[in-house]
Amino acid sequence: MAEALLWPILEQLSAVVAQQVQEEVNLVWGVQKQLGKLKSNLLSIQSVLEDADRKQVKDKAVRDWVYKLKDVCYDVDDVLDEWSTAIDRWKMEEGEENTRSRQKMRCVVQLRDIALKIKEVCEKVDDIAKERAMYGFYLCSATDEVQRPTSTFFVDESSVIGRDGEREAVVSKLVGESSPEAPDVYVISLVGLGGIGKTTLAQLAFNDAEVTAHFEKKIWVCVSDPFDEVKIAKAILEELEGRASDLVGLQSLLRRVSESITGKRLLLVLDDVWTENHGQWEKLKPSLTGCARGSRILVTTRKDAVASMMGSTDHRINIKEVSNEICRSIFNHVAFQERSKDERQRLTDIGDKIANKCKGLPLAA
């Protein structure tokens, strides 16, 4: 999916736009203005990608448009890397008093050349953004009820490559002894980019034999966006009682949840949390405080603010990108699974180049 490529690029683009570079660089080449326009275009494209993915199955023109978008994503990725590296080098040269003027001039020339590349790639993205109007894509606006994919605790462990260290860290936090001053139940957050493997890590930990033996009750809830307190409470209660609840009011649901978990050592996974609204979390939190000591709430989120809002600052695991080697392993596992030995040998170099462009995101690979 092109969307998997856009996630890391938009993250990187935000970081580059936020870079503090001296006034003369921006004034001469207008790079920040170009990057702002590039980000705006990519966001507008992202808003129709869900519909484009559906339509490309039957519409060759849409499929060609998506392929063109993927190609330009690689170009954007390359030029952003070049610009960030060149800016870092230029800042270092500017800070060195003894740096020769020839070296400084070389940095300036390099920045100018990359600025021209940025302008070219911006024009390509601008053309692609304009072409989207030809296909009548459905716009996924903020007011739409867009259903994000629902996760479950089921995972095929044989398909998971890497992440052994992170998995051990999560399990250790879940089953480890609490300090005397710690509350009976506290929140652990897995924080990282979209597609980096937060849900997979949570699934691996949820199904771990040591974790299963440690907790009396394990519950998995896909929260997603919007954060619906009634829906979440119903999902928790259904897992606790093994049947759908006939209760409809939030207060009644939370009272039943509180009664059902009192004195039990509980593991509650809240997957894919987006809301930063502290009030919404505070509605649920009191009903979960009656668990036995050693209970845990495991949260996955892309946002630092969510982890802070839910009070997991001291129990937070930042999920980093995987190595290029692991990315290649994941890519090869999928791409070459049913290919002959000759095909694998012939396509390995191409596959490696593609995998290296995934920037350490398992989902993109």
Q: Does residue 30 contact residue 40 with C-beta atoms inside 8 Å?
A: no
> Using CA atoms, how far apart are residues 242 and 280, in angstroms rounded to an integer?
26
Q: Among 53-57, 136-140, 209-213, 295-299, whose mean pLDDT is lowest?
A: 136-140
287 and 349 housed in the same domain: no
Q: Minimal CA–CA distance to 149: which of 324, 4, 45?
A: 4
Q: Is residue 140 part of a domain?
A: no
Q: How much is the average pLDDT of 331-339?
A: 80
Q: Is residue 223 part of a domain?
A: yes
pLDDT at 204: 94
Number of Cβ within a 10 Å radius of residue 34: 17
Q: Is residue 288 part of a domain?
A: yes
Q: Tell me how far CA of residue 262 lies from CA of 44, 248, 294, 328, in angstroms.
A: 48, 21, 13, 47
217 and 305 housed in the same domain: yes
Question: Burial of 65 by CB count in 10 Å (0-12 exposed, 13-18 middle, 19+ buried)?
Answer: buried
| Domain span holding position 295 | 157-318
- State pLDDT tens for residues 79-107: 888 887 887 777 776 656 555 566 767 77
230 and 269 housed in the same domain: yes
Directed axis angle between helix 198-206 and helix 164-175, to 10°? Answer: 50
Number of Cβ within a 10 Å radius of residue 276: 16
- Rounded to two decimals, what is the model's pTM? 0.63
Q: Is residue 361 part of a domain?
A: no
- State pLDDT tens for residues 114-149: 888 988 999 999 998 888 878 777 665 443 444 566
Ordered alpha helix ranges (H), 30-141 = 31-46, 49-55, 60-95, 101-131
13 and 128 housed in the same domain: yes
How many domains would you assign to the chain? Answer: 3
